[in-house]
Structure 1
Amino acid sequence: MDNSVANRNVPDISFRNCGFSEETRYEKVHSVVVKDSAEGSLAIAQEIADLIREKQAKGENCVLGLATGSSPVKVYDELVRMHKNEGLSFANVITFNLDEYYPMDKEAAQSYWFFMHDHLFNHVDIKPENVNIPDGTLPVEEIRAYGLRYEDKIEAAGGLDFQLLGIGRTGHIGFNEPGSAVNSRTRLITLDHITRVDAAKDFGGIDNVPRKAVTMGVGTILKAKRIVLMAWGQGKSPIVKETVEGEISSSVPATFLQKHENTTFVLDPSASAELKRFRTPWVVGDCEWTEDMKRKAVVWLCEHVGRPILKLTDRDYNDNGMSTLLAEEGSSYSINIRMFNALQRTITGWPGGKPNADDSNRPERATPERKRVIVFSPHPDDDVISMGGTFQRLVEQGHEVHVAYQTSGNIAVNDHDALRFADFVSDYFKASGSSDSGATELFDQIRKDLNAKAQAGEEIDTERVRLIKGLIRRGEAKAASRYCGLKDENIHHLDLPFYETGRVKKDPIGPADVKIVADLIKEVKPHQIYCAGDLADPHGTHKVCLDAIFEAIEQIKSEEFMNDCWVWLYRGAWHEWDIHEIEMAVPISPDELYKKRQAIFFHQSQKDGVVFQGEDDREFWQRAEERNRNTAKAYNELGLPEYEAIEAFRRYHF
């Protein structure tokens, strides 16, 4: 297979080749939107590789400023591939990393020194003396002088030819948190609470995240000849909007990039979603009025003017950039009625289809009356958190429901929970006088493993500890599914191999993962598949699990039973579908909402300060209930019936 970049349709992200258009008139930084993070990463890696080769041809060094975190991982993967397969040499490359936690030992799994060597430097021919990463081990009184030396070393190398950046939810670049000055230089800084929350997944909880870091300054970054900032995922969309369209302010340090004449933001569709050209294109310029766009515009207009659909007027449309829509539809009355009916038809109390009913205007088919259903859950609790009400409704309405937990979820169990269960088993055998000394020894060893891990400050659990943590999650999931009325034989624990690394960092999905998913689909032959489209999950497992399902479907879609299989995507654990995106809205009564809460409560290890809390410090049941209630409220404010709560779904067409 020819893997050359020329044969992989890598987009050109060059600032110099870009023209500005009417649709980008609100944007103050050049921004390129790519198909996905993989395509964007390839494009960035290609620009870096071209620069390295250009400098090599001139006999010059190439000075790179490099970033860490999840965003640049695929960029580094591609550079390593180019080195191994295409002969890209790093012999003339000098690197300066943006930052490092403080205090932080180089060999610690969370250190950026470890990250860079693990993802890039150990796999290419860069000279060790050309690698520069801020030192997180120095005494605090030495850091100021160290920062000055770091700056001098960059200058002595000729300055940064290229600076790669990510962006934090606070708007930080490097670790330049809100309040950083435009002329700031390399220094020690205190991390914002939000930054520490986002890093908690790598440290096993926020209490373990350092409070300080050594970082290049904003002024250092702005002196680079070329800057490329990448942002992936919905979680970055609010800060991307503020940075690209907002005013320059030290409260959002990334806005200082508006001053730089050769900066490009590379964004995936989710990260760019809040930009005006995507969020409200009718305000920016001419708009192609597809049915989806019409629904999106009408919902936005209702929210903007504070009136339900049927009370919108011609003037509302004309005053808010929708005169062409009004001209196309003829009158506000015509638009209002059509959009009202379209949204009303998404509401159903029969998520598996209503028997003996006209289904021409319903989201699901009436036949077969009793459907086979698979609910795929990335973690052992996403099913009840995100669609617990619908789950119970499907069971109560007589459908053959299966739930498939794709991963063990073991890394999300606190060590103290594992120790508690190990103590229980060991103490049981001792108290009962059982002769099973092997079990006692096993759980005694688990206690020793956990103590050794704590003393060493390590991230990775032993296989024994992962086993007991996985069993804790498995038992909780079984209890919740039984509470929802499911038979034990319909509960499937897939334990996909990609997840079982013992670390937050997972392996890519492979053929074994896809085969496990495909085999279950072929065994059940479902009429409905529900899976998580909630891609704001802070450690990416939802996205990987969804990719495994999509790949499995792609492989088996020619099977006859797949002609009658519909796929529904749910959200709710981390965010919810926008109203205009919803294709099936399942109302949840107060009693059903209470039962959903009780199902979530069975997941005891995920209550009271879980390992992967995300930016929301509430428990998952609280988040889910608020999102479900807000969805119901939004429907009601559009003039539709008032419900206690609504769970929302969008259909995936394969």
Structure 2
Amino acid sequence: MARLNLLEETRFEKLPVSVYEDEHIASKKVAYRISDIIKSKQRRGENAVLGLATGATPVEVYEELVRLHKEEGLSFKNVITFNLDEYYPMQPEAQQSYVKFMDENLFNHIDIRRDNIHIPDGTLKKEDIAEYCLAYEQKISAVGGLDFQILGIGRTGHIGFNEPGSAPNSGTRLVTLDDLTRRDASRDFGGKENVPTKAITMGIGTIFKAREIILMAWSKKKAPIIRKAVEGEISSNVPATYLQLSENVEFILDKDAASELTRFNTPWLVKDCIWDAQLIKKAVIWLSREVNKPILKLTEEDYNANGMAQLATEQGPAYDINIHVFNQLQHSITGWPGGKPKADDSQRPERAKPARKRSLIFSPHPDDDVISMGGTFIRLVDQGHDVHVAYQTSGNTAVWDTDVLRYVEFTIDFNQSIGEDTAQLEKTYEKMRKFIEKKQPNDLDIKEVRNVKAFIRKSEAIAGARYAGLQDKNIHFMALPFYETGKKVKNPVTEKDVELTMKLLQEIKPHQVFAAGDFADPHGTHIVCFRIIFEALKRLRETEDWTKDCWLWMYRGAWQEFEVHEIEMAVPLSPQEVQRKRHAIFQHQSQKDRPVFPGDDEREFWVRAEERNKETAVHYHELGLANYEAMEAFVRWKF
């Protein structure tokens, strides 16, 4: 019976999928499977032939394999590897090369023979590539074919660098990269313009010959393409759908990457559900959108015709369910994000007491506060709360070099105008200018350049917070050590990061903490900063009584927005408040027009914020709620 139930749950899925709690557990499972293959082959005196991938997805798999080698004696002397792909052209010693990636993450730490390592050669002459690719295929065949192939998946649906349009029988070849693929790689190369337009990749036909194929994916960012690959029709537009034709494939996902699969996203379509309040809310909002009706106009027929008969039968009648969910949404809307004084707060998202709260807004980068919750920030100040803002990092990697020179030139001219000696400053300026002239993409900035970039971000953050109405004494710059590498790859979080955060919390003793919860941030800073806050609060809750009355609210906006069913506090903004928020964002001039790291959203930050806030308001209105100009959304973290 359990097997039949599972088949019913997964009936939309066209290939095997295993879902794990998080990427750490999943990565270890994959590493153990690879280890078992290696050991099994060793016992038979045979070589294990592995197809390997690069990128962030397999990093923890390689970490675990290194650990198994160093701590448990797993030997790689009988292992032969073939990597999926390499950028073209690409020098092997370049920071972005997959040769360097594999050496740093795996090969330099195990006992594999160097002549057993095969990675496509990015240094070839173009006229030699076709012959080289044929020889690459022949080498795989000569050693008996691939025993195990690791795959990631790009947001275009590419596997390897087999972009949309690739044929299912394609072999190793030179390909042209999709624009989205190049945008996703832009941070590694210091801008999309520096990303190679081509790559050498194993073909889909080559991958298919592997005796075991594992595709791994982590994070919500991959969820939409995973759903297409697993549940969609086979199409050259999504090359990963070709894997549906293989009998040897399995998708290994974390919960976030699997979140848009039918069995997780709309489980009522495939099984009987245990209807808790959150699932009811999600299902009714989904139904409202599915039939294009406000919630209060949904009927029993709508429920029955759209897979929700069980809910109507067990929790109905339908109209009672509608009213209950409508009221939940209505109660999430408040113009008093710090709580409304002398009001009944039983149906409000925030407490009425104390009437004047200490509110601490943590901002991972120096502009996330006004981008993501600028309207709420301003309203908290206007309503008389003791508001503080803490900028967790300096943001000193995200300023254009030309701005650095412009600001220093201004400083030299100003100092000269008031008769100050500028000899040392001019000497420093020349050092910086010469460095910038010779600087290559992703080179580490010299200290002087990093400092000026940090000063620029700091001055903008102060201007933005002042515009929101804050006094300077309530503006805090933390410069958390994990961030201060000057590179895109940051240091691990240390005890110092947590201690600095605990100290600030102890000084302010806030009733409210606001923290960035949009973990889709492609640079990872947001989730790292949130984990530091969480760890600091967790420790303080063990010893300090004030923390029991401290609520943690998550905001989004810079990179994504909460789904309506998730929102617990929606703060409506008037047209005038939208404009005030826009001008607060405008104070961050170095991020305006074209930020250094825009991610895959080409819109300016203020445009993103306004359009997302308006979309949230529209969603509420379509469900039958009042028609506001815009809304900022929050979810409370439950300890």
Whole-angstrom distance in 2 between the partners of 1:426 and 1:19: 73
Mapped partners of 1:429, 1:94: distance in 2:
64
Aligned match for 1:619, one of 590, 596, 604? 604
2:526 pairs with one of 519, 542, 557: 542
Which whole-Å CA distance do the structure 1 matches of 2:353 and 2:397 have between them? 41
Q: 1:92 corresponds to which letter in structure 2?
A: N
2:361 is matched by which residue type in structure 1?
V
Which of 60, 76, 87 pairs up with 2:62?
76
Aligned length: 636
Q: Secondary structure at the match of 2:365?
A: coil
Compared with structure 1, are the counterparts of its residues 601 and 438 closer, same or farther at alpha carbon in structure 2 (3 Å cutoff)? same
Instruction: Please tell me whether the aligned partners of residues 333 and 570 of structure 2 are also in contact (alpha carbons under 8 angstroms).
Output: yes
1:265 is matched with which residue? 251
In the alignment, the residues of structure 2 paired with residue 141 and residue 500 of structure 1 have an alpha-carbon distance, to the nearest angstrom, of 44
Q: Aligned-pair RMSD on alpha carbons?
A: 1.5
Q: In the alignment, does 2:180 pair up with 1:180? A: no
Note if contact 1:228-1:263 (Cα within 8 Å) is conserved in structure 2.
yes
Please name the residue that 2:41 is paired with: 55
Q: 1:19 to 1:353 in 2, by over 3 A?
A: closer
Partner of 2:20: 34
- Spell out, residue by residue over 1:370-420, the C-alpha distance to the aligned partner (whole angstroms, 9 max, x if none): 111111111111111110000111111111111111111111112222222
Of 567, 578, 594 in structure 1, the residue corresponding to residue 579 of structure 2 is 594
Letter in 2 for 1:272: A
- Give the C-alpha shift of residue 202 in structure 1: 0.9
For 1:549 and 1:468, locate their aligned partners in 2 and report how far apart those are by CA, in whole Å. Answer: 27
Instruction: Give the Å deviation of 1:53.
Output: 1.9
One-letter amino acid matched to 2:515: C
Paired residue type of 2:145: G
The answer for the alignment partner of 1:142 in structure 2 is 128
1:636 to 616, 621, 624: 621
> 1:476: which partner in 2?
460
Q: CA deviation at 1:458?
A: 4.7
Residue by residue over 1:568-616, the C-alpha shift from the partner in whole angstroms, topping out at 9 and shown as x without a partner, is 1111111110100000000011011001111111111112222211222
1:101-140 matches, cutoff 5 A: 101-140=87-126
Aligned mates of 2:489, 2:62 — CA distance in 1: 15
Q: Secondary structure at the match of 2:557?
A: coil
Instruction: Please tell me whether residue 421 in structure 1 is matched to residue 402 in structure 2.
Output: no
Deviation of 1:449 (Å):
2.0
Judged with a 3 Å threshold, the aligned counterparts in structure 2 of structure 1 residues 221 and 20 are, in CA distance, closer, same or farther, namely farther
Q: Which residue of 1 aligns with 2:385?
A: 399
Deviates more, 1:633-642 or 1:545-554: 545-554
Residue matched to 1:439? 425
Distance across 1 between alignment mates of 2:144 and 2:364: 48
What amino acid maps onto 1:519 in structure 2? K
Specify which of 563, 588, 593 is matched with residue 603 of structure 1.
588
CA displacement 1:69-92 (0-9 Å, x = unmatched): 111122222222222222222222
| Aligned amino acid, residue 88 of structure 1 | L
Quickly say closer, same or farther: Cα 1:424–1:319, change in 2 above 3 A: same
Deviation at 1:174, TM superposition (A): 0.5
Query: Are 2:514 and 1:533 equivalent residues in the alignment?
Result: no
1:247-300 CA-partner distances (Å, limit 9, x unpaired): 111111001111111212121222111111111110111111110000000000
CA–CA distance in structure 2, aligned partners of residues 64 and 19 of structure 1:
35
Mapped contact 2:442–2:487 kept (Cα < 8 A): no
Cα distance between partner residues in 1 of 2:80 and 2:168:
25
Asked if the contact 1:419–1:450 (Cα under 8 Å) also holds between the matched residues in 2, the reply is no
1:579 equivalenced with 2:545 (yes/no)? no
SS of 2:61 mapped into structure 1: helix
Q: Supply the distance in 1 between the matched residues of 2:604 and 2:437 (Cα, whole angstroms).
A: 28
CA distance in 2, matches of 1:188, 1:610: 32
Helix, strand or coil at the partner of 1:411: coil
Asked if the contact 2:190–2:442 (Cα under 8 Å) also holds between the matched residues in 1, the reply is no
| One-letter amino acid matched to 1:542 | H
* 1:409 maps to which of 395, 413, 423: 395
The aligned counterpart of 1:241 is 227
CA distance in 1, matches of 2:561, 2:226: 19
Q: Does 1:349 align with 2:322?
A: no
Gaps spanning 5+ residues in structure 1: where? Answer: 1-16
- Measure the CA separation in 2 of the matches of 1:18 and 1:606: 54
Deviations 1:403-440 (A, max 9, x none): 11111111111222222223333444455542243332
SS, match of residue 216 in structure 2: strand
In 2, Cα distance between equivalents of 1:309 and 1:95: 56
Structure 1 segment 209-224 matched on structure 2, within 5 A: 209-224=195-210
| Counterpart-to-counterpart distance in 1, 2:40 and 2:494 | 36
Aligned to 2:474: 490
Normalising by structure 1, we get a TM-score of 0.95
- How far did 1:133 drift? 1.0
Detail structure 1 runs of 4+ shifted over 6 Å in the superposition.
Answer: none
Query: Which amino acid in structure 1 is aligned with residue 9 of structure 2?
Result: E
Q: Give the residue type in structure 1 aligned to 2:420.
A: S
CA distance in structure 2 between the partners assigned to 1:512 and 1:471 by the alignment? 22
Question: What amino acid is the match of 1:642?
Answer: N
Deviation, structure 1 residue 20: 4.8
1:491 is displaced (CA, Å) by: 1.2
What is the alpha-carbon distance in structure 2 between the residues aligned to residue 547 and residue 272 of structure 1?
A: 22
**Residues 112, 330 of structure 1: alpha-carbon distance in 2 compared, 3 angstrom cutoff:** same
Secondary structure in structure 1 of the residue aligned to 2:570: strand
1:555 matched to 2:544? The reply is no
Q: TM-score, normalised to structure 2's length?
A: 0.97
Aligned to 2:508: 524
CA contact (8 A) 2:372 2:609 kept: yes
Distance in 2 of aligned mates of 1:306 and 1:49:
52
Cα 1:123–1:424 shift into 2, 3 Å: farther
**Residue 105 (structure 1) shift:** 1.1
User: Any conservation in 2 of the 1:64–1:162 contact (CA below 8 Å)?
Assistant: yes
**Structure 2 Cα separation of the partners of residues 459 and 83 of structure 1:** 33
